[in-house]
Chain A
Amino acid sequence: MITVTHYLMLSAILFAIGTLGVLTRKNAIVVFMCIEVMLNAVNLTFIALSRHVGNLDGQIFVFFVMTVAAAEAAVGLALLIAFYRNKETLDVDDFNMLKW
């Protein structure tokens, strides 16, 4: 019998893996993909708990998370392209134009 705890544990593990990628990788696109993994882990939590309490509000929230993720993908990748045009690199260590 699969309980809601199984899904929550899986979601916690996926979120931790996403955090690992965000903290350790240097390629900005890979960091971006790891953020998507974290977003999906949270979506899984939302849907599992939504089914558990028998209420659809969590799934509506997942719908909006997906909308925001799509907008984020468009704007974020446009920023990466603009950055690559200027600096010829996507290493996050070189993202220091706002630093003084």
Chain B
Amino acid sequence: MEILFFYLVAGVAIVSAFFVVKCRNPINSALNLVTTFICLAVFYVMLESPFMAAIQIIVYAGAIMVLIIFVIMLLNFGQTIKGRYTHGIAAGGLVSVLLMLVATQLVRSGDATGTGGPVTSAMIAEVGHTELIGRALFLDFVLPFEIAGVLLLIAIVGALIIAKQKV
């Protein structure tokens, strides 16, 4: 039953990711991208990472997608096709199919090993996923967390300066 659900959601994720690439209108691409993000959030829940699923929905499907759709509608460009470029599509398709074959072969060629770490399903159910993430973030990864804050501040300032003036 669970595996059936996995294949269903995986199918939706792959088809909608493909339509992100295929759709002519960028708005349709953006809507398909939201579907992909939500499917990935479902996978995060299945992997017992509900906090990650929540920030996937809030940050990706919420904030970033609103920004992208806002820019698409602000610029309001038409769907001009300046000419066919089938050789480019063929080359890009070939490269991506090769990449997929290599990656899937790499995954299939061996089993994932690894020692059983301290974080088990029982521990997540008992302590709570958010608390575990918070502890790791504010005890072991304080410095990267601070640097991420500085990065976001610089990104805000940079985005304002770039978008404001004539280049």
Contact = CB atoms under 8 A, between A and B. Distances in A.
Q: State yes or no: do A and B come from one complex.
A: yes
A71 B95 CA distance: 29
A79 B71 CA distance: 11
A14 B117 contact: no
B27 to A, nearest CB: 10
B144 A64 contact: yes
Contacts of B126: none
A49 B156 contact: no
Which range contains the number of B residues in contact with the other chain? 35 or more
Interface in A30-80: 30, 32-34, 36-37, 40, 43-44, 47-57, 59-60, 62-64, 66-75, 77-80
Contacts of A14: 13-14, 17, 36
Given A30-B29, A74-B155, 13 more contacts: A17-B96, A19-B92, A20-B96, A23-B96, A37-B20, A59-B49, A59-B136, A67-B152, A71-B155, A75-B158, A78-B159, A86-B166, A90-B75
Interface of B: 2-3, 6, 10, 13-14, 17-18, 20-21, 26, 29-30, 33, 36-37, 40, 43-44, 46-49, 52, 55-56, 59-60, 63-64, 67-68, 71-72, 74-75, 77, 82, 85, 88-89, 91-93, 95-97, 99-100, 103-104, 106-108, 111-112, 114-120, 132-133, 136-137, 140-141, 144, 148, 151-152, 154-156, 158-160, 162-163, 166-167
Interface of A: 1-10, 12-21, 23-27, 29-30, 32-34, 36-37, 40, 43-44, 47-57, 59-60, 62-64, 66-75, 77-86, 89-91, 93
24 contacts: A10-B10, A12-B107, A17-B17, A17-B96, A19-B95, A21-B21, A24-B21, A24-B93, A33-B29, A47-B44, A55-B119, A59-B49, A59-B136, A60-B133, A64-B144, A69-B64, A70-B155, A71-B152, A73-B63, A74-B158, A75-B155, A78-B158, A78-B160, A81-B162
